[in-house]
Amino acid sequence: MTAVDTHFQVDLERLRRAAEQAEPKLLDGKRISQALLEQVCEATELLGERGIVPQLNVVRVGNDPASAIYVRHKIRACENVGIGSSHIHLPPQITQRDLLAKLERLNGDDAVNGILLQLPLSEHHNPNEAIAAIDPQKDVDGFHPGNLGFLMAGHAELEPCTPRGIMTMFRAAGVDFKGKRAVVIGRSMIVGRPMAQMLVRAHATVTICHRYTEELAEHVRNADIIVVATGVPGLIKGEWIKPGAVIADVGMNRSEDGKLCGDVEFDAARERAALITPVPKGVGPMTVATLMENTIRATCAHHNLAIRGGEVYEDVDALCGPLDQ
């Protein structure tokens, strides 16, 4: 058992049943996320019986249209699973000092279990300093440098939502990681680098590619597992895909005809792949569901509780035993 499972353990078999209902070759994030959210909802009910209501506060700065949409999705997800939520919308001109003070007040609020700072901030802000100001035990996005360090060390309680959601989806679909060649395209702290670390932890052999990588096609052709997060529509060509590969496409772009598309040429890649995520209804729903999962995990950790198989346990240390390194 890893640290991330200490306080809230998901029933993977229920996720597998959801994955089996997908269309051929599809990693259906929508179905798997619903199965995960059902378990989150059950957890909120169990906590409610003890008078505990998980609380997520989302802080948004400025008027970025995409951020407004993302926040609405997160608040709606909270409402659907019984997590309390608050959207704190700050003006774009707020100073860095006042932003940090606001985050500090949320850190000290015992009723708040999770804090999410929606990016991007205004140009004059230092996002790294703001993220580092969040209490790591309330950092449900998993971006705090302390939590990223724990991820590297194998003791993370809260992990970045998108890569964590992808790993959950892979496991639900029965993907085998051991000894497989995994290629992560994109090296951001939000997806690429934590994704690579999680795949290493699962015993895959991992290569990270980025804008300066030479012969990208050759790296992709040799990959058993591919995760793409570049924001470049159709960057990964279908003909590059190794037959039987598994693909997670994090991209969310608009094609020239206005349709949503990913970073992978979907139709051509699907012909060769064993599994591929659609865009939309692939990685996106898993990211939001994992945010809800992290909020439950942070709530349980705050109250020194663990949830397993529909039961709540108080003696967490005795229940978990030694962690798997």
Binding residues for NADP(+): 186-188
Binding residues: 186-188
What does the alpha-carbon distance between residue 73 and residue 75 come to, in Å, rounded to a whole number? 6
Q: Is the peptide bond before 280 cis (omega within 30 degrees of 0)?
A: yes
φ, ψ dihedrals at 313, nearest 5°: -120, 145
CA 7, 9, 12: angle at the middle one, nearest 5?
A: 170
Catalytic residue among 39, 55, 74, 224: 74
242 contacts 221 by C-beta, under 8 angstroms: yes
Residues across the chain: 325
Catalytic residue among 39, 55, 118, 197: 118
Catalytic residue status for 118: yes
What does the alpha-carbon distance between residue 254 and residue 249 come to, in Å, rounded to a whole number? 14
Distances (CA, A) of 320 to 127, 182, 290, 305: 35, 30, 21, 11
Catalytic residue status for 74: yes
Could you tell me how far CA 298 lies from the centroid of its own chain?
15
- Give the closest residue to 8 by CA, choosing from 252, 283, 316: 316
Catalytic residue among 28, 139, 141, 263: 141
- Give the closest residue to 257 by CA, choosing from 235, 233, 231, 275: 233
What does the alpha-carbon distance between residue 238 and residue 293 come to, in Å, rounded to a whole number? 33
Please tell me the number of Cα atoms within 13 Å of 307 on its side-chain side. 26
**Where in the sequence numbering do the catalytic residues fall?**
74, 118, 141
